[in-house]
Amino acid sequence: MDAKRIKQILSSSSDIEVRYNGTSVWIDNLNEDGRTATVHLRGPLEERSDVAIDELKEI
């Protein structure tokens, strides 16, 4: 995924499914470096992780 698409997803009111390593995640924000994003798992756990945006896949 690229930074432009992540910005579009973040500004969208739609529920757009994104996966990281096969697991559904929410994107919290695009980090300043433009190459990583902060995400957390969908569901009750809200542990956040910084991941490379090229590892995120839109479903």
Average of per-residue pLDDT across 52-58: 98
Other beta carbons within 10 angstroms of residue 30's beta carbon come to 19
- Do 5 and 11 form a contact (C-beta atoms < 8 A)? no
- Do 26 and 14 form a contact (C-beta atoms < 8 A)? no
Distance CA 54, CA 46 (A): 22
Sign, CA dihedral 17-36-3-38, equals positive
- 2-45 tens-digit pLDDT: 999 999 999 999 999 999 999 999 999 999 999 999 999 987 77
